[in-house]
Amino acid sequence: MRKLATVVLAAGQGKRMKSSKAKVLHLLAGRPMLHYPLNAARETGSQKIVVVTGYQQEQVRKTFSDTDIVYALQNRQLGTGDAVMSAREALADFNGDTLLLCGDIPLIKGSTLKKLINFHREEENSVTVLTTRKNNPAGYGRIVRDEKGTIQKIVEEKDASPQEKKISEVNSGIYCFDSTFLFKALDSISHHNAQNEYYLTDTIAIAREQKNKAGFLLVPDETEVMGINNRIELARADGEIRKQILERLMLRGVTIIDPQNTYLDLDVQVGKDTAIYPHTFLTGNTKIGEDCLIESGCQISESKIGSHVTIRCNSVINGSVIRDRATIGPFAHIRPASDIGEEVRVGNFVEVKKTSIGKKSKAAHLSYLGDTTIGSEVNIGAGTITCNYDGVKKHPTVIEDNAFIGSNTELVAPVKIGQGSLIGAGSTITRDVPPDSLTVGRAKQVNLKKKPNLTPPGKS
Ligand code: UD1
Ligand code: CA
């Protein structure tokens, strides 16, 4: 078996993005663009992956620090041909085929790359280019063939004659090369063209001149090889990837009410019989169990949701765990490092931060629970607030099993409420409460006899 290496071009700035961030770092379904061609390359079983960086190379290297990647540096962006030359050293002792990918062509599938490699080898080509037909070929290099249909050369848009501009078959920017041919051909390319750049595309004409075999493989679906050059194309590719994510999940038994208005990142996992309502964003490394209901307008990121969980509309959950059969929301805010236990109910306008809530406990309305450890079967009355911050430091609150916290209670941390205790509504608790106590910490009500003709306050 011949060896296979991959070179991914990612040195360009992507001027047409009008961004201070390198193009390949822009996100598609929550992952930087470059992730996608790298992943497709891995599916081919490529033994070596060389990424050519230049613009913001440190950020690119930091973002993709995977150990299977070797980096090459292109100091100045002198064109795609020059970019490949920068990989020469990294491939000095390599003999075999080189798959050439671009960091800005993210929708390419591993299966198509495998077809390209097999075809290239069967045909014993020196270079095989992946092409497609486009309704609007503007901006792409055109594939020029002779009368027999053999590929002659690739002409860039800016160098093309009016006749050549009419060609609808274009260069995808993806190729398979015989490595020895590639680097020899690159030695003879020049920058005498409209853009003053070293074009990798010139290797096709060079192959023809040197009587080496050049071929092409046509991809029927032009979307798969679309290049991302501006934000319009970025949005289009993002939509396409998200559509694929949702279709994969629907085929695995997840109900998506309105796929056009549901947004899931690449790494999100969802179990079967879970239903997701529109305008929901599930992002980052989020995992949802089976038979859950995620109502509309929810944002869940970096969280693990168990099975049979209901997340009611407009709830925000971040960096937390929600266990089986819990109910959250509507309008709940679960902030990082929270752990919501089985069968717990967190209701409307409840904010929870760095707090664990034990099995079957309830905080049904209007509360703030921060830095708190709550046992099981606890009832947190409406309006309960943990005063966890003294202006300098955060302090913990502990509420043990079966405690009942009356409505509108303030728990001034650090404080501990013992098991089975009952706190009267409206209390301000500043000291620990022993187990099984009845504690009331509020001003005593006084009822006085009203004087005749006393004007009530506020009325004159
Ligand atoms: C390129 C092709 C064009 C093809 C199109 C497909 C050339 C000359 N043209 O045009 O035929 O139809 O892709 O999308 O190859 N890059 C570097 N260093 C450089 C220049 C570019 O690393 O000096 C990288 C870019 O980061 C990018 C890729 O190469 O990932 C393609 O470069 P880009 O400038 O986008 O080329 P296109 O004009 O799209
Ligand atoms: Ca491009």
pLDDT digits over 399-434, tens only?
999 999 999 999 999 999 999 999 999 999 999 999
Nearest CA to 293 out of 329, 331, 241 is that of: 329
Contact indicator for 336, 342 with CB cutoff of 8 Å: no
d(CA 389, CA 372): 12
Residue 83 CB less than 6 A away from ligand 1? yes
Query: What is the fold of 251-439?
Result: UDP N-Acetylglucosamine Acyltransferase; domain 1 (2.160.10)
Contact indicator for 427, 410 with CB cutoff of 8 Å: yes
What is the reported pLDDT for 460? Answer: 62
What is the reported pLDDT for 65? Answer: 92
| Ligand 1 atom 13 nearest Cα | 173
d(CA 371, CA 338): 9
Structure tokens belonging to residue 186: 């690159």
Question: Above 70 in pLDDT, residue 186?
Answer: yes
Question: Above 70 in pLDDT, residue 459?
Answer: no
- CA 384 to ligand 1 center in whole angstroms: 59
Nearest CA to 114 out of 188, 49, 170, 174 is that of: 174
Residue 202 CB less than 6 A away from ligand 1? no
d(CA 409, CA 440): 10
Atom of ligand 1 lying closest to residue 11 CA = 22
Residue 127 CB less than 6 A away from ligand 1? no
311, burial (CB in 10 Å: exposed 0-12, middle 13-18, buried 19+)? buried
| Mean pLDDT in residue range 275-304 | 98
Arithmetic mean of pLDDT over the chain: 97
Long-range CB pairs of 138-143 (<8 Å, 24+ gap) are: 139/227, 139/229, 140/170, 140/171, 140/227, 141/170, 141/171, 141/173, 141/201, 142/167, 142/169, 142/170, 142/171, 143/167, 143/169, 143/170, 143/171, 143/216
Q: Indicate which ligand has the atom closest to the C-alpha of 226.
A: 1
What is the reported pLDDT for 290? Answer: 98
Contacts of 426 (CB under 8 A, 6+ apart): 406, 407, 408, 409, 442
Greatest pairwise CA separation for the chain in angstroms: 116
Structure tokens belonging to residue 177: 């090369």
- CA 173 to ligand 1 center in whole angstroms: 7
Residue 30 CB less than 6 A away from ligand 1? no
Phi, psi of 259 (to 5 degrees): -55, -25
- CA 459 to ligand 1 center in whole angstroms: 79
Phi, psi of 434 (to 5 degrees): -70, 165
Atom of ligand 1 lying closest to residue 172 CA = 6
d(CA 108, CA 88): 24
d(CA 240, CA 234): 10
239, burial (CB in 10 Å: exposed 0-12, middle 13-18, buried 19+)? middle
**Amino acid identity of 112?**
T
| Mean pLDDT in residue range 433-451 | 95
Atom of ligand 1 lying closest to residue 12 CA = 26
4-225 falls under which CATH superfamily? Spore Coat Polysaccharide Biosynthesis Protein SpsA; Chain A (3.90.550.10)
Residues in the chain: 460
What is the reported pLDDT for 452? Answer: 79
Residue 170 CB less than 6 A away from ligand 1? yes
Percent of the chain with pLDDT over 70: 99
* Residues labelled catalytic: 365
Domain boundary assignment for the chain: 4-225, 251-439
Residue 227 CB less than 6 A away from ligand 1? yes
| Mean pLDDT in residue range 136-141 | 95
Query: Mind listing the pLDDT tens digit for each residue in 337-390?
Result: 999 999 999 999 999 999 999 999 999 999 999 999 999 999 999 999 999 999
Atom of ligand 1 lying closest to residue 199 CA = 8
Question: Above 90 in pLDDT, residue 116?
Answer: yes
CA 272 to chain centroid: 22
